[in-house]
C-alpha cells in the first residue's frame, strides 16, 4: 500500500520527496470526495462488486470508475480482490452514509463546488485578509446557506459527522452531573444537549440557536418527563442568551468569529449565567510554535470559510478575562478538542 509521509517520517525523507507527497495528497482528497459523491461505499456494503456493475448503479463511465477505485485501493480505501472486483475496507467503510463512524457527509462537503471555490481563493485571502468564501460566493456563509438550503443540509450533515465523534467521547472526559439547567448556545440540532440529558436524567436543557435553525430541528421523540426537561429557543447570541442556567455550552462557536465578536458572545453568557455556574467552551486549541497540530490546518479552514480562527490557550484565557470569566481548567479529549471550563468572577 502506498503511504503518504507523516510529519514525523518526513524528517528522514528527502525534502523534495516529502513536498511532492504533500502536494499530491490534494489529488487523494478529491478522489475520496468523488467516491463519496458517487455513493460507492454504500453500493458495496452488502459485498464486493465488479466495477462495471458499480458504474451502472453510480451512473459513471466504467473504465474511469475502475481507475478511480484502483487509485484509492492503493491507499487502503477499497480493495481489489480479483480482476475488476472491489470491496469495502475499514477506511472505505467510513464513506458509508449510515456507518457508525461515517464521514460521508464531510466528504460531500469538501467535494462541493461552494467549498472548493472558497479554497481556490486562499492566495487572495492571505494577500488581502478578506474571507475567501465571501469573495467566492459574494456573501457571508450564513447568508449563503439561507439562500441555498441543499448546501446547508450538506454542511449540517458534515457537522453531524464530526459532532457524533466528539459527543461520544465527552462523558469520559467531563462530569456533567453537578448541573441542573444547561443551555447549549448555538447548539444546532441539539445532538450534544440531548445526549447529555439522556445521560444525566436530573438535568434540564435549553437548545438556543437562530430561529431558522430551531424551525428546521427534528422533533424530539416524546418520552416520560422529556417535554419538561428539554425546550428549544430561537434567538441571536450576539444580543442575549437565555438566563439563569448553571451551565452554558459553546461548542465550536467562538472559532467562527473574530475576537470582538467572540467577546460579545462571552459577555452575553456572563450576563445570563447563574452566580455559581460554569461556562464550557469546546474547541480545538492551537499547539505552540513548530509542534505538529492538525488544528493549525483547521485554523486555515476557518480563515477561508468564515474569517474566524482557532486560538491558543492564552488567547482563550485573555478573551475570558475580558468578559469577567476566570479560566479554571482545560480538559483534553481523545478526539483532539478541549473542554475549557470557566467560572464568572
Active-site entry in 50, 105, 189, 255: 255
By residue count, the chain amounts to: 345
Beta bridge partners of 330: 340
Beta strands in 171-238 (DSSP E): 181-185, 204-209, 230-234
Question: 302 near 321, Cβ under 8 Å?
Answer: no
Helix axes 104-111 and 15-38, enclosed angle (nearest 10): 110
Which residues, 6 or more positions from 50, have their beta carbon under 8 angstroms from its beta carbon? 84, 85
Copy the grid coordinates of residue 234: 430561537
In this structure, the dihedral spanned by the alpha carbons of residues 290, 291, 297 and 303, taken in order and rounded to 10 degrees, is -60
∠ CA 88-151-97, nearest 5°, is: 20
Annotated catalytic residue 255: yes
Question: 99 near 93, Cβ under 8 Å?
Answer: yes
Distance CA 330, CA 99 (A): 31
Q: Is 340 helix (H, G, I), strand (E, B) or coil?
A: strand
Strand 338-344 to 325-332 pairing: antiparallel
Residues involved in catalysis:
255
Amino acid at each position: 500500500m502506498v503511504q503518504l509521509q507523516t510529519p514525523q517520517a518526513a524528517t528522514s525523507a528527502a525534502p523534495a520527496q516529502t513536498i511532492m507527497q504533500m502536494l499530491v495528497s490534494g489529488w487523494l482528497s478529491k478522489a475520496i470526495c468523488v467516491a463519496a459523491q458517487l455513493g460507492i461505499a454504500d453500493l458495496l456494503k452488502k459485498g464486493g462488486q465488479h466495477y462495471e456493475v458499480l458504474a451502472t448503479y453510480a451512473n459513471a463511465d466504467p473504465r474511469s470508475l475502475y481507475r478511480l477505485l484502483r487509485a484509492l485501493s492503493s491507499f487502503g480505501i477499497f480493495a481489489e480482490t480479483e480482476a475488476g472486483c472491489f470491496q469495502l475496507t475499514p477506511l472505505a467503510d467510513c464513506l458509508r452514509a449510515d456507518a457508525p463512524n461515517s464521514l460521508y457527509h464531510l466528504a460531500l462537503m469538501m467535494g462541493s463546488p461552494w467549498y472548493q471555490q472558497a479554497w481556490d481563493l486562499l492566495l487572495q485571502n492571505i494577500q488581502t485578509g478578506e474571507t475567501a468564501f465571501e469573495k467566492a460566493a459574494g456573501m457571508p456563509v450564513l447568508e449563503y446557506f439561507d439562500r441555498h438550503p441543499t448546501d446547508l443540509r450538506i454542511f449540517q450533515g458534515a457537522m453531524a459527522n464530526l459532532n457524533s465523534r466528539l459527543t461520544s467521547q465527552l462523558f469520559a472526559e467531563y462530569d456533567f452531573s453537578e448541573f441542573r439547567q444547561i443551555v447549549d448556545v448555538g447548539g444546532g440540532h441539539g445532538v450534544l444537549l440531548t445526549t447529555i440529558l439522556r445521560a444525566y436524567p436530573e438535568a434540564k436543557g435549553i437548545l438556543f440557536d437562530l430561529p431558522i435553525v430551531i424551525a428546521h430541528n427534528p422533533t424530539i421523540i416524546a418520552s416520560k418527563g422529556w417535554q419538561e426537561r428539554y425546550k428549544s429557543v430561537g434567538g441571536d447570541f450576539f444580543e442575549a442568551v437565555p438566563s439563569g442556567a448553571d451551565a452554558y455550552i459553546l461548542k465550536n462557536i467562538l472559532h467562527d468569529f473574530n475576537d470582538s465578536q467572540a467577546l460579545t458572545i462571552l459577555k452575553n453568557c456572563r450576563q445570563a449565567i447563574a452566580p455559581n455556574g460554569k461556562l464550557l467552551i469546546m474547541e480545538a486549541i492551537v499547539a505552540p510554535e513548530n509542534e505538529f497540530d492538525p488544528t493549525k490546518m483547521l485554523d486555515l479552514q476557518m480563515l477561508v470559510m468564515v474569517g474566524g480562527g482557532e486560538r491558543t490557550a492564552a488567547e482563550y484565557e485573555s478573551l475570558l478575562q475580558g468578559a469577567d470569566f476566570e479560566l479554571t481548567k482545560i480538559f483534553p479529549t481523545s478526539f483532539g478538542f478541549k473542554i475549557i471550563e470557566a467560572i464568572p468572577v
